[in-house]
C-alpha cells in the first residue's frame, strides 16, 4: 500500500494560529505522544529541527550517523511496542535510512521515518542532495508518503502512526519537501483515521478454532512453533496459558525469543540453522505443528519441502500474505493472535483442560523422546583452558544479571551464542536484527532501548566487526548520558564467515581477517583507545580469571561502558544445519 493521498477523515482546527509546516509536523508528533526522536539535521530538514527546539514534550537525540539513529529508533520500538521515530535530511541522509527501513520491514517493527526533501519545484531535476527516497523504499515500507500540500500534514502524520502500529507492524516513510516545511497554514488535526481498503483487524472464525481443538485431540506428537508475531501481537500471556492447558512443547524462532519463557519445562528454546537439535527434531517429527506468528523463513525450515513433511500444520497469522507463501499448510487461520489464543483458551477451559505449570503428563511418550534428544545433544561447549570461550562470557553475564536484562546484539556468531546461552523469560528483552541480519545494529539499538527503559540494564553483545560499523554512536551515548553497555567478543575476524570458510571452503580466508597483517600480535583496532577518545570507559579482558569481575564493573557502571573480551577465532557456532539442507543434516561437532 503506497500512495501520496488518501481519503480525509473528519477534522477540526485546534486553534486559529498559523504555524509553518515544520511546526505542524512537530505538533502532530506531540499529539501522538512521541517521547523521543532520533534526528540528524541537514539542509532540507533544518526547519523541522528548528521546530523541535521549541517543543518541551519531545526529546531530540542527535545520533552520529543516520543509520545509528534509525537503529536506535528500532531499539526503542522493539522493547516498548511503541512506534519508533527518526528523522534525516534529503539525499545521503535519506539513503542512510534505507538499511534501517529494510531491517524494520523484515522484522515487523513499528517505525515512522521522516526525511527532508528538496523543494517541490526542484524535485526531479537532480538538485543538490536530491534522491527519490519515496521510490527507492517502496518495496520495504508498509506505506509511504510524499507530502505535497501543507494542509495534508496532520492527516498524513495520524495515518502514518496508525499504519505503523496496527495489524502486522512495520515502517512508514514520510518525505517532506523543504518549501512545505516553511509554508504557513492553520492546522486542522483529524480526530480519527479512515483509510479505504485498510482493515488491519483480522479475527479467526469460531469454526477454525474448533477445528484446531479437534486436531489437538487426535495428536500424539504435537509441537508449537511460534515467532515474532506473538511479541508484536502482545500475545505472550495467552500463549503461556495455551501451552499450560494443552501441555504442548514449544520452540520459538529467533525473532520469537522471549515470547515463551525459556526456563519453562515445555520450552525447547529456538529452532533453525543454529537452534537446538531437540527443537529441530521435535518440530520436524511432530504429527501436528501449530505455527503461530511465523513466516516459515529459510533459516528455520532449511529445505522447505522437507520441513515437517509428515505432520499436519496449522498456521495462525495476522498477515494474509504469509499464509501458504513458503509452506503449504493443512489449516490456514487468518487472525489476531491474542484474540485467537484467548478464545482457544476458553474452548479448552470449557472442555476441562486445566492449566498446569508443572507435572505435564498428557504426551508422556513424546516427552520421553524429546528428553532423549536433550540428553544426547545439549547446548554445550568446551570450557577448559584459560582462553575465554565466547559462550562462557554469555553464561557469566546471564548469571550476574539473573537473566534480568535487555540484551541487544550485532550480527554474527556472537548473536547466535547470545540466543543459545542467555535464557530469556520475557518478551521484548532480546533485541536483534533477525530477518535482514544487519551488522552494526547492536549498539545503537541498545541506546534506543536504554532511552526507552532507563531503569533497566541494557547490554549489547557484539562482535569486533559488527561493533565497528556504528562505533561512532559511542559519542551519542556519552554526550546524551545514555548508559548503554557493550561486551565485544573480539576474535579479530569476521567469525561467522570464517566458520563457513572452515566448513565449506577448506579454511581458505577470503578477506575475513580484521586485524593488522603487519603485526599479528597487535590487537587491532584498539577499542580501549577508541572508547577513550569518545569519553567512554573500556576494559580489555585477556584472561578468564579476570572476566567475572570485569562484567561486574560493567554492570555497576552508571554510564556507558565497554568490555573488549578477547576470544579465539577457531570457535564455531554449533549445532549448524547447512543452508538448504534438512534437520537430519545437522553438524554437531
For residue 316, give Cα distances in angstroms to 76, 289, 344, 426: 27, 11, 12, 21
DSSP state of 302: S
Q: CB–CB of 84/36 below 8 Å?
A: no
Q: Is the peptide bond before 575 cis (omega within 30 degrees of 0)?
A: yes
Element of type H or E holding 222: strand 222-226
Residue 430, all three cell numbers: 532480546
Q: Between helices 277-284 and 364-376, what is the axis angle to 10°? A: 140
CA terminus-to-terminus distance, the chain: 47
Q: Which of 23, 32, 66, 244 is catalytic?
A: 66
Q: Clarify whether 120 is annotated catalytic.
A: no
**Range list of H helices, 90-235:** 92-95, 98-107, 133-136, 153-165, 178-182, 206-218, 228-232
Q: Between helices 98-107 and 66-80, what is the axis angle to 10°? A: 20
d(CA 327, CA 325): 6
Q: CB–CB of 439/409 below 8 Å?
A: no
Q: Which of 120, 129, 360, 472 is catalytic?
A: 129
CA 412 to chain centre: 15
Residue 199, all three cell numbers: 482493515
Q: Clarify whether 105 is annotated catalytic.
A: no
The CA R_g of the chain, rounded to the nearest whole Å, is 25
Q: Clarify whether 472 is annotated catalytic.
A: no
SS3 455: coil
Q: Which of 87, 97, 117, 178 is catalytic?
A: 178
d(CA 474, CA 459): 13
Residue 77, all three cell numbers: 520500538
Q: CB–CB of 271/308 below 8 Å?
A: no
d(CA 249, CA 368): 12
d(CA 169, CA 108): 5
Element of type H or E holding 116: strand 111-117
Q: Which of 327, 496, 534, 539 is catalytic?
A: 496
How many Cα atoms are found within 13 Å in the side-chain-facing hemisphere of 565?
34
d(CA 41, CA 28): 19
For 40-84, what is the HEC assignment?
CCCCCCHHHHHHHCCCCCCEEECCCCHHHHHHHHHHHHHHHCCCE
Q: Clarify whether 309 is annotated catalytic.
A: no
For residue 211, give Cα distances in angstroms to 62, 208, 215, 323: 52, 5, 6, 17
d(CA 528, CA 39): 28
Element of type H or E holding 462: strand 458-463
Q: Clarify whether 262 is annotated catalytic.
A: no
Q: In b/e form, how buried is each residue of 192-218, taking b as 16+ CB within 10 angstroms?
A: ebebeebeeebebeeebbeebbebbee
Catalytic positions, please? 66, 128-129, 178, 496
Amino acid at each position: 500500500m503506497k500512495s501520496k493521498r488518501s481519503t480525509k477523515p473528519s477534522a477540526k482546527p485546534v486553534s486559529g494560529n498559523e504555524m509553518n509546516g515544520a511546526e505542524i509536523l512537530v505538533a502532530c508528533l506531540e499529539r501522538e505522544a512521541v517521547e523521543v526522536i532520533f534526528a540528524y539535521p541537514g539542509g532540507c530538514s533544518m526547519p523541522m529541527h528548528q521546530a523541535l527546539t521549541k517543543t518541551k514534550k519531545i526529546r531530540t537525540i542527535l545520533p552520529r550517523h543516520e543509520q545509528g539513529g534509525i537503529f536506535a529508533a528500532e531499539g526503542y520500538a522493539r522493547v516498548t511496542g511503541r512506534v519508533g521515530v527518526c528523522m534525516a535530511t534529503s539525499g545521503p541522509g535519506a539513503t542512510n535510512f534505507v538499511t534501517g527501513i529494510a531491517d524494520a520491514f523484515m522484522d515487523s517493527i513499528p517505525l515512522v521515518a521522516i526525511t527532508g526533501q528538496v523543494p517541490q519545484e526542484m524535485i526531479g531535476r537532480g538538485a543538490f542532495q536530491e534522491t527519490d527516497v519515496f521510490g527507492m523504499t517502496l518495496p520495504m515500507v508498509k506505506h509511504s508518503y510524499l507530502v505535497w500540500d501543507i494542509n495534508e500534514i496532520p492527516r498524513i502524520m495520524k495515518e502514518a502512526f496508525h499504519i505503523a502500529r496496527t495489524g502486522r507492524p512495520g515502517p512508514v516513510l514520510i518525505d517532506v519537501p523543504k518549501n512545505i516545511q516553511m509554508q504557513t497554514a492553520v492546522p486542522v488535526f483529524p480526530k480519527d483515521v479512515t483509510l479505504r481498503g485498510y482493515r488491519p483487524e483480522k479475527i479467526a472464525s469460531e469454526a477454525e478454532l474448533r477445528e484446531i481443538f479437534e486436531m489437538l485431540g487426535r495428536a500424539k506428537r504435537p509441537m508449537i512453533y511460534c515467532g515474532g508475531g506473538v511479541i508484536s501481537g502482545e500475545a505472550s500471556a495467552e500463549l503461556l496459558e495455551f501451552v499450560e492447558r494443552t501441555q504442548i512443547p514449544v520452540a520459538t524462532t529467533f525473532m520469537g525469543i522471549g515470547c515463551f519463557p525459556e526456563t519453562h519445562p515445555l520450552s525447547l528454546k529456538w529452532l533453525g540453522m543454529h537452534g537446538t537439535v531437540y527443537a529441530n527434531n521435535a518440530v520436524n517429527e511432530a504429527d501436528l505443528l501449530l505455527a503461530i506468528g511465523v513466516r516459515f523463513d529459510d533459516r528455520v525450515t532449511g529445505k522447505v519441502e522437507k520441513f515437517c513433511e509428515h505432520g499436519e500444520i496449522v498456521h495462525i497469522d495476522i498477515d494474509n500474505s504469509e499464509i501458504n507463501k513458503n509452506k503449504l499448510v493443512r489449516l490456514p487461520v487468518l487472525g489476531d493472535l491474542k484474540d485467537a489464543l484467548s478464545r482457544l483458551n476458553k474452548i479448552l477451559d470449557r472442555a476441562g483442560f486445566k492449566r498446569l505449570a508443572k507435572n505435564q503428563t498428557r504426551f508422556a511418550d513424546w516427552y520421553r523422546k524429546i528428553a532423549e534428544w536433550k540428553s544426547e545433544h545439549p547446548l554445550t561447549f568446551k570450557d577448559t583452558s584459560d582462553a575465554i570461550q565466547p559462550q562462557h562470557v554469555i553464561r557469566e553475564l546471564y548469571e550476574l544479571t539473573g537473566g534480568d536484562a535487555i540484551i541487544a546484539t550485532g550480527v554474527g556468531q556472537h548473536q547466535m551464542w547470545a540466543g543459545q546461552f542467555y535464557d530469556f523469560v520475557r518478551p521484548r528483552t532480546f533485541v536483534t536484527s533477525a530477518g535482514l541480519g544487519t551488522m552494526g545494529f547492536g549498539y545503537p539499538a541498545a541506546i534506543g532501548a536504554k532511552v526507552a527503559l532507563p531503569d533497566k540494564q541494557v547490554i549489547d553483545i557484539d562482535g569486533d566487526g559488527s561493533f565497528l560499523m556504528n562505533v561512532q554512536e559511542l559519542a551519542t551515548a556519552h554526550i546524551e548520558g545514555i548508559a548503554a553497555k557493550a561486551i565485544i567478543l573480539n576474535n579479530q575476524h569476521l567469525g561467522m564467515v570464517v566458520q563457513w570458510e572452515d566448513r565449506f571452503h577448506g579454511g581458505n580466508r577470503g578477506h575475513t581477517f580484521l586485524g593488522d597483517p603487519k603485526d599479528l600480535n597487535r590487537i587491532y583496532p584498539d577499542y580501549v583507545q577508541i572508547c577513550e577518545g569518545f569519553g567512554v570507559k573500556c576494559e580489555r579482558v585477556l584472561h578468564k580469571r579476570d572476566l567475572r569481575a570485569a562484567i561486574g564493573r560493567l554492570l555497576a557502571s552508571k554510564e556507558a561502558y565497554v568490555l573488549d573480551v578477547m576470544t579465539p577465532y577457531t570457535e564455531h557456532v554449533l549445532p549448524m544445519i547447512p543452508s538448504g539442507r534438512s534437520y537430519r543434516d545437522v553438524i554437531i561437532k
